Amino acid sequence: MPSMPPPYDAAEPAAGCQVAQAPEVPTAVVIQHNFPMHEMTSLMDGTFTHLATALQGVGIGLIGPAFALHHRAPVSTADLEVGFPIDAPLTAPLTLPGGFEVTASVLPAGRVAWTSHLGGYGGLAEKWGAFTEDIGESEEQMTYPFWEFYVTPPSPDVNPATLRTDLFSLLEPRAA
């Protein structure tokens, strides 16, 4: 089975801000515009619960963990894609049991900054703030999109302190 290419394949969490060259990776996603933040759990649960099975039904395999990719900073609403990286491009839309439509997309190629968050999802906002500060201090410039990989699959019996979420942001190209 194919697996995620570097830097997405890190066996160990990143202790600090890392910069790497990331390849384009095909994805299967549910795209939402102006999606209410207070409904995020229903979007993610409704997508992640059914998407792997739907993809398997059309002969497409997962090559990495679930993710959420944001096209702008979320406030009360978000413009985002939630889904999985896949081993072959999705060639036709799929409809999930909850009514969400799945389409083909990609994680973009380019220079990325990334780090890991260990702990519950409630700590992600603080980690993003620290990550953004670290990127600025390294004289890099973030650009959209940015995304989270939910490396540890959430489940009712997982200790939230052991959850690993990897954070990524596309960086502005360096001037030649």
Tens of pLDDT along 71-124? 999 999 999 999 999 999 999 999 999 899 999 999 999 999 999 999 999 999
Q: What is the pTM of this model?
A: 0.94
| pLDDT given at position 18 | 95
**Local structure of residue 4 (DSSP, 8 states):** P
- Compute the distance between CA of residue 94 and CA of residue 99 in angstroms, rounded to an integer: 10
Domain boundaries defined on the chain: 18-171
Distance of CA 112 to the CA centre of its chain: 13
- Compute the distance between CA of residue 45 and CA of residue 18 in angstroms, rounded to an integer: 30
Which are the contacts of 104, defined by CB distance < 8 A and separation ≥ 6?
Answer: 26, 27, 28, 29, 89, 90, 91
Tens of pLDDT along 115-164? 999 999 999 999 999 999 999 999 899 999 999 999 998 777 889 999 99
User: In which residue are the tokens 């894609």 written?
Assistant: 81
71 token code pair? 């096209």
- Compute the distance between CA of residue 88 and CA of residue 100 in angstroms, rounded to an integer: 21
Residue 108 backbone phi and psi in degrees, to 5: -75, 150
Comparing C-alpha atoms, which of 5, 148, 165 is closest to residue 74?
Answer: 148
Which CATH fold topology does 18-171 show? Multidrug-efflux Transporter 1 Regulator Bmrr; Chain A (3.20.80)
* Pairing status of strand 101-107 against strand 94-95: antiparallel
Q: Which amino acid is at 26?
A: P
Tens of pLDDT along 5-44? 999 999 999 989 999 999 999 999 999 999 999 999 999 9
| pLDDT given at position 176 | 63
H-assigned helices in the chain: 40-57, 124-137
Judge contact between 102 and 25, C-beta under 8 A. no
Judge contact between 151 and 164, C-beta under 8 A. yes
